[in-house]
Chains A and B, each alone.
Chain A
Amino acid sequence: MEELPGPFPVGRYARKLQEELRRRARVRLVGEVTGVSRSKVQAYFELRDAEGAVPCAIWLDDLEKAGLPEGGLRDGAEVVIGGGPDYYPGGGQASPSFAFRATHVRLAGEGDLLARLGALRKQLRAEGLFELQKQLARPRLPKTIGVVTAESGAARRDLLAGLRRRGWAGTVVWAFAPVQDRRAAAAIAAAIQGLAATPAVEAIVVARGGGSLADLWAFCDETLCRTVAMLRVPVISAVGHERDSTLIDDVAAIACSTPTHAAEAVVPLDCLAAREALTRSAAGLRRAGEGAVGTRSRHLVALARGPARALRRERVALNQKTREIRAASERGLAERRAFQRRLALVVLSRAARRAAGADADSKREALRRAEVAFRAHEPERTLERGYALAEDSGGEPVTSAAAALAAKHVRLRFADGGVGAEIDRNGSEHERGT
């Protein structure tokens, strides 16, 4: 170390340091006030954000001139200070100290906060923290939900009303926390973590009514937002109103503009509508089941009837054909019979002729003989031999004297003709009365 310049007296060096720091550019700083304390002439505090802090001091005269509201310089307040670095070299008895010497101070305005928020948002987005919660599966019908909100507040009432409107009546686990100032962030983060660690809790709502960005600043806290981003339970933020955009909205699974909307987001299912839909589904299933069986059984019946009809048709056709065949065969049979009959007749006649041929000659001879015998007995032959035949008026032979007497008139047939004759009773040899 001998190569270093010096050694210089420390008091002189301390003053030199003071001069150099005081020559540095004067700037404005923005951050959260913590650790406020006062002496008779000065107020001390630290100005910090998530990345670091600077010890600050302000003369009470300057503080008074700043015109802050009563209690404006307090822990948790977001302020903008103007000034530059300073060094108090101390003295024989007094301790040295470094401080940012603030000559001006005002509460941070919307613009300052928005600028800080913008930077923070950019950083968290770059780290991918906005996406983690959005990738979590959210149950459509959670049975238990956790809610972080102020114990007394419209947000609690609105959320409950919203849940009831959906017909949801599950379990709500409340984790009450201050939601107003910067210091609330730690309590809110603890409440969210407590809910996330409760096994039954399926989703978490963080709700707070509207306000200025300064009012909502706790929900822009970097630590809180990092905590939310890393949770495995979905978080639904309902902080402020539509126009207020806090950092927790960015990291949450869903950001809602009101607690009422949060109720719809945490229980996506409208239970009343779901019940009606379920009833319809059940009816649809019943219809489908019955319909399927009914339609098919009707179809089956129709199918079953089909073969019967077809059979009937076939049977009718078959009967018709049978009749036709029978008729045809009968015709054929008749024709065949007629033919056979004709054939038999021919055969028979031929056979008859053949049979007859053998004794025809003898028959003819017998016939001739019979004819001779017959002719020998013919009356004409007898008449030719000189006999006469007496016949009555009717042509009947009169073969007795009594018949001749009774006839009175007879006709005598001779071989060459007939003559009439009167019976003479006087010449009768017939014994009268005998």
Chain B
Amino acid sequence: MSEAPESYEAAVERLEQIIDRLDSGQAGLRETLELCREGRELVTYCSAELDAVGEGLKELRLDELAAKLEPEAG
């Protein structure tokens, strides 16, 4: 990937721009292929982001977390 998106929303926003541009039919062949490549990278990124919050809800407790961190810090 040329440059990782700043965030999921940034990636989706860019992806929407790309689709709009492609749908407009105004992009030349070189631009179209470039946009498709960028779009595929964004889809991959977004998909990974969704996967990261799709593999089972994890529950932690702040007090336990803090207790764990304290010995490390000390």
- Interface residues of A, Cβ cutoff 8 Å to B: 139-141, 143, 146, 160, 163-164, 167-176, 191, 194-195, 198, 267, 269, 271, 274-275, 278, 281-282, 284-286, 288-289, 292-293, 296
Contact = CB atoms under 8 A, between A and B. Distances in A.
A278 B55 CA distance: 18
Contact of A275 (B18, B23, B50, B59): B50
B57 interface: yes
B32 A288 contact: yes
A158 to B, nearest CB: 15
Contacts of A274: 12, 46, 50
A293 B7 contact: no
Contacts of A141: 7-9, 49-50, 53
B53 A143 contact: yes
A281 B50 CA distance: 15
Interface in B10-68: 12, 15, 18-19, 22-23, 27, 29, 32-33, 35-36, 39-40, 43, 46-47, 49-50, 52-63, 65-66
B57 A285 contact: no
B29 to A, nearest CB: 5
B29 A271 contact: no
B32 A278 contact: no
A170 B52 contact: yes
A160 B43 contact: no
A36 B7 CA distance: 53
Given A139-B7, A293-B29, A285 B43 contact: yes
B24 to A, nearest CB: 11
Contact of A167 (B39, B47, B54): B54
Nearest to B19: A284
A205 to B, nearest CB: 13
Contact of A172 (B8, B15, B22, B59): B59
21 contacts: A139-B8, A140-B12, A141-B7, A141-B49, A141-B50, A141-B53, A143-B53, A169-B53, A170-B53, A170-B57, A171-B59, A173-B62, A194-B66, A195-B62, A269-B9, A271-B50, A278-B43, A282-B40, A285-B18, A288-B32, A292-B36
B60 A171 contact: yes
Contacts of A172: 57-60
A191 B63 CA distance: 9
Contacts of B62: 146, 173-175, 191, 194-195, 198
B36 A168 contact: no
Nearest to A292: B32
Contacts of B12: 140, 274
A319 B66 CA distance: 94
A269 B13 CA distance: 13
A278 B41 CA distance: 12
A282 B41 CA distance: 10
A289 B36 contact: yes
Given A140-B12, A163-B57, 6 more contacts: A141-B7, A171-B57, A172-B59, A285-B43, A292-B27, A293-B33
B1 to A, nearest CB: 15
A169 B54 contact: yes
* 8 tightest Cβ-Cβ pairs between the two chains A and B: A289-B36, A170-B53, A175-B62, A292-B32, A288-B22, A141-B8, A169-B57, A285-B39
A278 B16 CA distance: 10
Nearest to A163: B57
B60 A174 contact: yes
A176 B19 CA distance: 44
Nearest to A170: B53
B22 A284 contact: yes
